[in-house]
C-alpha cells in the first residue's frame, strides 16, 4: 500500500507538457497584444506631432498672408499651384521662403526635432485675386508604412472689399 501511494504523487510527463503548452500560448498572446498596443501608441504619437507641424505651418502662412497679401498671392507661380517644402524650422521673426518646386522627397525631419521621419510641404493655389487655397501635408514614414496628415484651408484678403 505504501508503494502505491508514492507512485500517485506528482504530475505525469504528459500533464506537465500540456500545462507548458497552454502557458506558452497564453504568453505569446499576451506578448502580441502588448507589441500591437505599443505600435498603435507610437502611430498615434506621430499623428499628433504631424498635426502640430501642419497647424504650425498654417499659422506661419497666415502671418505671412496678413503681413503682405500682394507678396503672398504671387507665391503661386503656376495655375496648378506651387509646392513649397517646409522641412526646415519656421522662423517667425524673419520669414524665409523655400524655393518653389523644391524637391521635398526625403523624410529627414522637420527642423531639428526627432524623430527624423517627417516631411512637410504646402501647395499654394491662387483661386482669385482675393482668395488662395492652401493644402498643407505632413507625411511620415513608420517602418515600411507611409502616413500623412493633410490640412486644407482658404486664405482670403480681408482688406479688400
Whether 107 has a pLDDT exceeding 70, the answer reads yes
What's the chain's average pLDDT?
84
pLDDT in tens, 36-80: 999 999 989 999 999 999 999 999 999 888 888 888 877 776 667
Q: Which residue shows C-alpha cell 506621430?
A: 46
CA atoms within 13 A on the CB side of 50: 26
3-state helix, strand, coil split of the chain in percent (to 5) is 40, 25, 35
pTM (2 d.p.)? 0.76
Using a pLDDT cut of 90, give the percent of the chain over it.
40
Amino acid at each position: 500500500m505504501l508503494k502505491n501511494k508514492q507512485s500517485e504523487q506528482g504530475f505525469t510527463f504528459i500533464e506537465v507538457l500540456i500545462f507548458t503548452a497552454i502557458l506558452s500560448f497564453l504568453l505569446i498572446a499576451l506578448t502580441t497584444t502588448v507589441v500591437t498596443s505599443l505600435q498603435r501608441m507610437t502611430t498615434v504619437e506621430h499623428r499628433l506631432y504631424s498635426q502640430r507641424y501642419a497647424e504650425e505651418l498654417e499659422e506661419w502662412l497666415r502671418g505671412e498672408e496678413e503681413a503682405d497679401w500682394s507678396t503672398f498671392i504671387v507665391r503661386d507661380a503656376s495655375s496648378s499651384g506651387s509646392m513649397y517644402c517646409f522641412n526646415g524650422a519656421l522662423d517667425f521673426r524673419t520669414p524665409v521662403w523655400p524655393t518653389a518646386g523644391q524637391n521635398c522627397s526625403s523624410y529627414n525631419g522637420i527642423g531639428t526635432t526627432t524623430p527624423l521621419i517627417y516631411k512637410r510641404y504646402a501647395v499654394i493655389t491662387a483661386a482669385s485675386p482675393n482668395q488662395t487655397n492652401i493644402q498643407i501635408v505632413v507625411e511620415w514614414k513608420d517602418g515600411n508604412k507611409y502616413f500623412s496628415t493633410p490640412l486644407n484651408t482658404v486664405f482670403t484678403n480681408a482688406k479688400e472689399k
